[in-house]
């Protein structure tokens, strides 16, 4: 879903003429090996996303600190970094999809 929705959101304004304020800023998901199961879940998610062709990297604490200068991260910290991911305005997404549906006959 992440891979496919990213494509849709990135091209939404070009395809429809409606802005959803897509901002390609990347997504960083943090986890701690100090919390049972948390790091393992992120590691599984990264492996699954990579198997689907999503650009995502598992970062250890030193790589994470290099990516985000000034970040305080213990040696137990890991992260999933999706550099191509981003954010949208959810209200604009709903309004845009609703408008398209109306234009195609939805009531």
Each residue of 17-40: pLDDT tens digit?
A: 999 999 999 999 999 999 999 999
Q: What is the dihedral of CA 10, 26, 53, 34, to 10 degrees?
A: -150
d(CA 19, CA 7): 15
Quote the pLDDT of residue 3: 76
- Reply yes or no on whether the pLDDT at 69 is more than 90: yes
pTM of the complete model = 0.80
Strand order in the sheet with 57-59: 27-32, 77-82, 57-59
Count how many Cα atoms sit within 13 Å of the Cα of residue 63 in the half-sphere of its side chain: 10
- Reply yes or no on whether the pLDDT at 86 is more than 70: yes
Answer left, alpha or beta for residue 91, where phi above 0 means left and psi between -120 and 50 means alpha: alpha
User: CB of 87 within 8 A of CB of 23?
Assistant: yes
Quote the pLDDT of residue 5: 86
On average, the pLDDT of the chain sits at 93
Quote the pLDDT of residue 1: 63
Record the tokens describing residue 88, joined without a space: 């949208």
Quote the pLDDT of residue 4: 84
């Amino acid at each position: 879903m992440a891979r496919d929705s990213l494509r849709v959101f990135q091209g939404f304004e070009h395809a429809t003429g409606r802005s959803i304020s897509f901002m390609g800023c990347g997504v960083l998901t943090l986890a701690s090996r100090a919390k049972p199961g948390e790091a393992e879940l992120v590691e599984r998610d990264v492996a699954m996303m990579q198997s689907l062709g999503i650009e995502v990297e598992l970062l250890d604490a030193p790589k994470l600190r290099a990516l985000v200068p000034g970040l305080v991260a213990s040696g137990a910290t890991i992260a999933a970094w999706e550099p191509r991911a981003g954010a949208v305005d959810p209200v604009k997404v709903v309004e845009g999809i609703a408008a398209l549906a109306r234009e195609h006959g939805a009531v």
